[in-house]
Structure 1
Amino acid sequence: MEVSNVVPDPRQPLTLLYQTVDLVAINKPHGLLVHRSPIASDASEFAVQLLRDQLGQRVYPVHRLDRKTGGVLLFALTEAMNSVMQQQFAEGTVDKTYLAIVRGYTDDEQVIDYPLRRDDGVVQDAVTALKTLQRAEIPLPFGKHATSRYSLVELKPTTGRMHQLRKHMAHILHPIIGDRPHGCNKQNKLFLDQFAMNTMLLHASRIQFTHPQTGEPIVITAPVQAEFSRMLTTLFSGYDSAILQV
């Protein structure tokens, strides 16, 4: 079985989820950087570049997704809209929803209120609301256990700290599958060996905001991508796809 963790072919167009004269949203593939970064010198393709070439105009990412995270990524098409939308994200008025597959059985619902330290030492408040959508126990031995348990969770961050969801899930001992360095390396190796899977199973499934010019509520959703879908089928046999319509 071939490992599926490659950066998307730049010859293939990005999937557009929403487009107006001043905004456009894509379903960012896992493994694709938003923009050039000195800490990822191995990358040669970036969402900003690919979308610019696809649309034939300049684009402005108004927020960020980790390289390993897939899902809704919003761009402005003018400098003015970029400024206004960045302000909305900074003020926390954009509602964001993520899906993740994590190790173990999570609580039905939980608020993770755990401050995070930046690289420069500054400690920032960080809050994430968790809701468990489905649980699974599969006959796959791991360590001293005869089976393995996993949960499909919905995550809603009310703050926007770097790697917040990844760090919060590691903090409550339910790391996201495929996460490095915050996840469980033994679980990641298990998924690589058993399922030929090394994608991080974190997906930005939905954003909601008020259009700055029209005042209209905008909701943009992104379907999960191939590897996330494969792991849902593999781990959660008979899972209810309706629960992903968040």
Structure 2
Amino acid sequence: MLEVIYQDQHLIAINKPAGWLVHRSWLDRHETRFVMQTVRDQIGQHVFPVHRLDKPTSGALLMALSSEVACLLAQQFEHHTIEKKYHAIVRGYVNQADIINYALTEEKDKIADKYTSKISQPQPSITHYSPLAKVECPIEIGRYPTSRFSLLALRPITGRKHQLRRHMAHIRHPIIGDTTYGDLRQNRGVSHHFASSRLMLHASYLSFKHPMTGDKLQLIAKSDDAWMHLLSQFGWLGIVPELERQHLSMV
């Protein structure tokens, strides 16, 4: 059963687990777990997607309970009036807050876009980031005798595909566990020394105007056991208390 973080007669938000597809896709034919179908069966009602999270990303996922509400929410996403916040653990020390303003070209899928000849143009892409904590561990990964990591809050202004993962790789602070844009050596080292192999990117916060009532909603998705496990090992418990669960089943 998926964790519901908000529900009323118009919309529902769940805490998406890492490793789940939002909806069924022929590009991943062997996958058996899908958020939309599971939520539909869980509440006994059809749901309408209004945005998506990558399969390895966890956190707040918003869905509408009617096509009308889905359209209104989609407009808010399109006009960038929905505030989104993520948390990530990245390689290296990030010492100060900054803005990444780096255009991204739409990535083509090797299968779905195999016969597409149109060349995509770079699209404006903006991400705000700020460091929350950093740690140096006496563990050799790569050519250095110690390893450094930072905990970041990320706020994407635009919503390009894989934007946060690509932007963090662009500034040479790839997100831990990112098998596409990340540092393979770092990923293997963290998996071996800290028993953590998932993408350390969590959609922690959504703030938006309710499309029917006009009320402001602020939704928080708590971190999972894998996040809590790594936060504990890095000595970061208490840094973002609103995301932490009371009990650790992996520590």
TM-score by length of 1: 0.91
Superimposed CA distance per residue, residues 68-100 of structure 1 (whole angstroms, 9 cap, x where no aligned partner): 000000010011001110111111110000000
Task: Report the equivalent of 1:80.
Answer: 68
Task: Report the equivalent of 1:8.
Answer: none
Task: Report the equivalent of 1:186.
Answer: 185
Of 40, 48, 52, the residue aligned with 2:40 is: 52
Q: % of aligned pairs identical?
A: 42
Superimposed CA distance per residue, residues 166-191 of structure 1 (whole angstroms, 9 cap, x where no aligned partner): 00000000000000211111111112
How big is the shift at 1:240? 4.4
Structure 2: gaps (5+ residues): 109-118, 244-251
Task: Report the equivalent of 2:79.
Answer: 91
Aligned pair 1:41/2:29, yes or no? Answer: yes
How big is the shift at 1:243? 2.6
Q: Secondary structure at the match of 1:82?
A: helix
Structure 1 segments of 4 or more deviating over 4 A? none
Aligned length: 232
Separation in 2, partners of 1:242, 1:184: 25
Q: Secondary structure at the match of 2:132?
A: strand
Task: Report the equivalent of 2:195.
Answer: 196
Separation in 2, partners of 1:32, 1:199: 12
How big is the shift at 1:34? 0.2
Separation in 1, partners of 2:53, 2:60: 9
Q: Secondary structure at the match of 2:175?
A: coil
CA contact (8 A) 2:82 2:206 kept: yes
CA contact (8 A) 2:51 2:61 kept: yes
Bigger shift: residues 109-118 or 136-145: 136-145
Structure 1: gaps (5+ residues): 1-12
Amino acid at match of 2:147: S
Task: Report the equivalent of 1:163.
Answer: 162
Aligned pair 1:226/2:225, yes or no? Answer: yes
Amino acid at match of 2:181: H
Separation in 2, partners of 1:138, 1:214: 49
Aligned pair 1:105/2:102, yes or no? Answer: no
Q: Secondary structure at the match of 1:116?
A: coil
How big is the shift at 1:26? 0.4
Task: Report the equivalent of 1:4.
Answer: none
CA RMSD between the two structures:
1.2
Separation in 1, partners of 2:185, 2:144: 13
